[in-house]
Amino acid sequence: MSPGQTAQAAIELRGVSKSFGPVKAVRDVSLAIPDGAVAGIVGENGAGKSTLMNLVYGLVSPDAGEMLVRGREAVLSGPGDAIRLGIGMVHQHFMLVDTFTVAENVALGAEGSALLRPSLAAARRALGRIADEHGLRVDPDAIVGDLPVGEQQRVEILKVLYRGARILILDEPTAVLTPGETDALFRVLRGLSAGGVTVVLVTHKLREIMAATDGVFVMRGGRLVASRPTRETSPGELATLMIGDHGRSVLLPDATSRRRPAVQPEGFPGDAGVHRPHAEAAAASGPRSTQHAVSLDLRAGEIVGVAGVAGNGQGELLEVLAGMRPLAGGRIGLGGREVTPAAPCDPAAMRALGVAHVPEHRHRHGIVEEFTAAETAILGYEADPGLGRRRLDGRAAERSCAGLMARFDVRPPDPRHLSGRFSGGNQQKLVIGREISARPRILLVGQPTRGVDIGAIAAIHREIRALRDEGCAILLVSAELDEIAALADRVLVMLRGRIAGEVPADADPETLGLLMSGAGRERDAA
């Protein structure tokens, strides 16, 4: 009972399968997307959504099955074929040439003539026309790399429309957007749909499916497990379909998951000077300094969430506090110890002071992909006397890793497995397990569940809460507002390297969104 079987389908898939080596990414998927609809495809990471869309766009070819575009069979040997059939794709990672202007990016691959000047003139005219029709306005002569992310995405959509696309696929389009930009995107998609463009929205965010689509297809483990008209379903039903019952509470934070800390800062036993670390005026230096005078207090037994659109200095803040980035001014007080530009502190010394760090970029800073799990599990703690005094005791490392793997449910539980071969979720559990096992007084966490499947998200959130309840002070940076809402006791919003404001954990998304986009401040000023 796929939605709109009666109407002419813009895209119809019949029994499509695709494997990558032993991995069956897409298995026997049949679906029909009605013309002019906004269709949603949901599923957790690794459910096969992206592969399915890459098949539709000709980036990969199917092992079995067929595809019909507006009722006619289509065999795609590449994106060029898809474009000729009026299929356009807006990728999660933008396919833009940063050094080119908007007009050059739009014209690339669709130049009308061998000479550039007339092609660019045509692109400029078309951009003007599309801007008038759909309200998608971007300066054609701006350099794409200089544009904010929301506008870069608009350039991607413009590129696709310029090629005459009537079927628009968007792969996780809101991952990089503020709530305000997300709403603007949805308005654009509605307008396109009203103009007869078929929109396929690939996402794992149920709220967006409910807000933006007419019909929704649910994928799990490479299969299409359900299709529903959006108005006849609910986020709860979709979540259940996506992952079964265990993930519900993660996706739909409710009051119980946000209980107060078991240990109130005032009631924490021990020396307040030790357990009241705080950072003041942390300022990062660097080639592209995004950090300006940030002041914050982090108390024992609380999780402070840092929200903000990616790239507003949250990552730098974590790196400064972890000692990875030098302090340009101000000071960080950690119990009795003071860190200033004149008395810097490297990551090892920070760690010795009880600061553990789960870095934002797991692959770059969290693990070494070529190391075994046991080696990754002692990174940064390799000087521990339990691992041998002079010679590193590999067996001890493997034993302790096996213990960590049992406690944090890392699969496969094999300390000799290469770190890079674990799934994202299991890599992250390994990193979080390593940092938590060090029994830190302060835990810095960046994007703890990025690229992590939903089962692991629940486990990671449980561990972070448990650590907080033991009295650890936790600073959580996340791009996922749902995650911040589910974990944080209070929320700081960062914008352009500053703290734009603090809100309670149960603040509504609009308030947060306004702060994240800077509109809040402008409104206050007005």
Partner 1 sequence: MAALLPELLSLASGTLRMATPLILCAMGGLFSERSGIVDIGLEGKMLAAAFAAAAAAAVTGSASAGLAAGCGAALLLALVHGFASITHGGNQVVSGVAVNMLASGLTITFGQAWFASGGATPALPASARFMTVVGGHNILVLAALASVPLTWWVIGRTRFGLRLRAVGESPRAVQAAGVSVAGLRYRAVLACGLLTGIAGTYLSLAQSAGFSREMTAGQGYIALAALIFGKWRALPAFGACLLFGFVDVLAIRLQGVAVAGVAVPVQLFQVLPYGLTVILLAGFVGRAVAPKAIGLPFVGGR
Interface residue list for partner 1 (CB under 8 A): 50-51, 54, 59-60, 78-83, 89, 91, 93, 95-100, 104-105, 107-111, 113-117, 119, 159
Closest CA to 430 of 439, 420, 443, 440: 420
Q: How far apart are CA 51 and CA 69, in angstroms?
A: 18
Closest CA to 105 of 139, 65, 135: 139
Question: DSSP characters for 12-66?
Answer: EEEEEEEEETTEEEEEEEEEEEETT-EEEEE--TTSSHHHHHHHHTTSS--SEEE
Asked if 120 and 54 count as a contact pair (C-beta separation under 8 A), the reply is no
Single-letter amino acid code for the residue at 244: G
Query: Which of residues 83 and 512 has its CB atom nearest to partner 1 in the complex?
Result: 83
Nearest distance from C-beta of residue 243 to partner 1, angstroms: 23
Nearest distance from C-beta of residue 150 to partner 1, angstroms: 19
Query: Which of residues 165 and 443 has its CB atom nearest to partner 1 in the complex?
Result: 165
Query: Which of residues 111 and 183 has its CB atom nearest to partner 1 in the complex?
Result: 111
Nearest distance from C-beta of residue 385 to partner 1, angstroms: 43
Sign of the torsion angle spanned by Cα atoms 519, 523, 524, 526: positive
Nearest distance from C-beta of residue 428 to partner 1, angstroms: 22
Name the one residue in this structure whose structure tokens are 């119980």. Answer: 256
Nearest distance from C-beta of residue 163 to partner 1, angstroms: 8
Q: How far apart are CA 406 and CA 31, in angstroms?
A: 41
Query: Which of residues 146 and 232 has its CB atom nearest to partner 1 in the complex?
Result: 146
Nearest distance from C-beta of residue 51 to partner 1, angstroms: 7
261 DSSP assignment:
P
Closest CA to 33 of 152, 144, 163, 167: 167
Query: Which of residues 79 and 330 has its CB atom nearest to partner 1 in the complex?
Result: 79
Query: Which of residues 33 and 82 has its CB atom nearest to partner 1 in the complex?
Result: 82
Query: Which of residues 110 and 328 has its CB atom nearest to partner 1 in the complex?
Result: 110
Give the pairing of strands 337-339 and 327-334.
Answer: antiparallel
Closest CA to 285 of 329, 315, 323: 329
Nearest distance from C-beta of residue 59 to partner 1, angstroms: 6
Nearest distance from C-beta of residue 450 to partner 1, angstroms: 18
Q: Find the distance separating the first CA and the last CA of the chain, reported in whole Å.
A: 52
Closest CA to 224 of 15, 11, 75: 15
**E strand spans, 402-524:** 442-446, 473-477, 490-495, 498-504
Query: Which of residues 91 and 429 has its CB atom nearest to partner 1 in the complex?
Result: 91
Nearest distance from C-beta of residue 79 to partner 1, angstroms: 5
Asked if 37 and 3 count as a contact pair (C-beta separation under 8 A), the reply is yes
Closest CA to 195 of 235, 167, 233: 167
Calculate the CA 458 to chain-centre distance: 16
Query: Which of residues 79 and 335 has its CB atom nearest to partner 1 in the complex?
Result: 79
Nearest distance from C-beta of residue 175 to partner 1, angstroms: 17
Query: Which of residues 114 and 525 has its CB atom nearest to partner 1 in the complex?
Result: 114
Q: How many residues does the chain have?
A: 526
